[in-house]
Structure 1
Amino acid sequence: MFERFTKDARRVVQAAVGQAERAGDSTVREDHLLLALLDDGGARGTAALTALGVTGRRASIERALADAQRRGGLSLSDTEALAGLGIDVAEVVQRVEEVHGEGALAGCGKPGRPWPFGVGSAHRPFTPGSKQLLARTLRIAVGRGDKTIDSEHLLLALAGQPGVVSDVLAEHGATTAEITRVLAPVSGKATG
């Protein structure tokens, strides 16, 4: 699969490893991939985010991702569902942090098998969710009839994989439908 990644897609994945390293995180998560994509001015996926006005809202995205990490990785929809059951996630987070310190629920991934995307990746393995996301990029590329995996496939996978990152993207106007709409004129074909 990795031989199908374009230079742009590889650069984004390598930058995600750098995001994890700078954050002091032991693993590379989906949010690191999103932040790397936001920073990559030459990638088609980044151009789509720019067209949707998302790249200019990086600080807001970082806050939303940090809030989700603080909640133990729960998305806002997870939090709302738990509230419907009478569980106040904010109160749970507060009580845990009173006992164990701020960010106690953020957690760290367990070390795993390194991925072949650069020197730093041996020290920062990808989480199972990030691995699923990268595998999803292949399915998206094949579904679109593309022979390579590029940054727009990463973006579509990020927006389409349920969880915190897709929720944050949607909150900032980058749903799968909107991304597909913006990418369609560029590629000249339907995306999905």
Structure 2
Amino acid sequence: MFERFSKEARDVVIRAQDEANSLGHDWIGTEHLLLAALHHPEQPGAATLARLGITIASCRAAVAGVVPGPQEDLGPEDAEALRALGIDLEAVRRRAEASFGEGALDAAPDADRTKREGGRGRGRGRGRGEGALTRHVPFAARAKKVLKEALREALARKDRGIGVEHVVLGVLDSEDNISLALFTRLGIEPGVVRELVLDDLRAAA
């Protein structure tokens, strides 16, 4: 399927890994694909998002607000949200510490993590051009679904290849909790934005 991707769409897939690394995430999700697409504001789909005022910076802040980084503890709001789902964070912490010792759920320092991994350079990337060690991170199922949806969008429109616009449309079709929370943080209604992207594509045809 990758051979169908345009040069820019291929860059989106590659940059999604960079974005995951820079945020210290161990997966590539829909949020990273959206961030990567925003690096091409001149491309269809991403241009629509840019016109709506969605920038790399605002999207990255929204992602950080939805998905905590590896060194971030869950705060009171997170605990309250989990409690609403029937999960008592403090009870979980007490049971973990009773079994594995105090601080069992605390994040390990980077140095300790590197030592546990046999000294391999699984450094958290700091983005392009900053001397970061880039590690391979796998695609989450929801991100794979977006890429498959991008192919379906291209086929449905009878487009010859998969472009940034198809990836953006695939992201906007996502209905997983993280994607929906990200859309809320960005202040967008995905169905409405999807129609705007399609309108822009029709106007450019």
**CA deviation digits over 1:139-171, x for unaligned, max 9?**
122223322211121111112111212331244
2:200 to 175, 186, 190: 186
Partner of 2:41: 41
**Structure with greater proportional helix content:** 1
Identity of aligned residues (%): 30
Partner of 1:100: 105
1:167 to 158, 169, 181: 181
**CA deviation digits over 1:74-118, x for unaligned, max 9?**
xx9xx96x65554466x6787779641159xxxxxxxxxxxxxxx
TM-score by length of 1: 0.66
Structure 1 letter corresponding to 2:46? T
Partner of 2:167: 154
2:9/2:162 contact within 8 Å kept:
yes
Structure 1 letter corresponding to 2:29? R
**CA deviation digits over 1:38-97, x for unaligned, max 9?**
23333322211112222262354133232498799xxx9xx96x65554466x6787779
| Partner secondary structure for residue 188 of structure 1 | helix
How has the CA–CA distance of structure 1 residues 84 and 26 changed in structure 2, closer, same or farther, with 3 Å as cutoff?
closer
- RMSD of equivalent CA atoms: 3.6
Aligned length: 166
Gaps of 5+ in 2: 98-102, 109-132
1:1-192, aligned counterparts within 5 Å? 1-55=1-55, 57-67=58-68, 86-87=86-87, 99-102=104-107, 123-163=136-176, 164-188=178-202
TM-score by length of 2: 0.63
Distance in 2, matches of 1:49 and 1:27, equals 24
Gaps of 5+ in 1: 104-119
Which structure: larger Rg?
Answer: 2
How has the CA–CA distance of structure 1 residues 85 and 186 changed in structure 2, closer, same or farther, with 3 Å as cutoff?
closer
Deviation at 1:173, TM superposition (A): 3.3
Distance in 2, matches of 1:31 and 1:21, equals 13
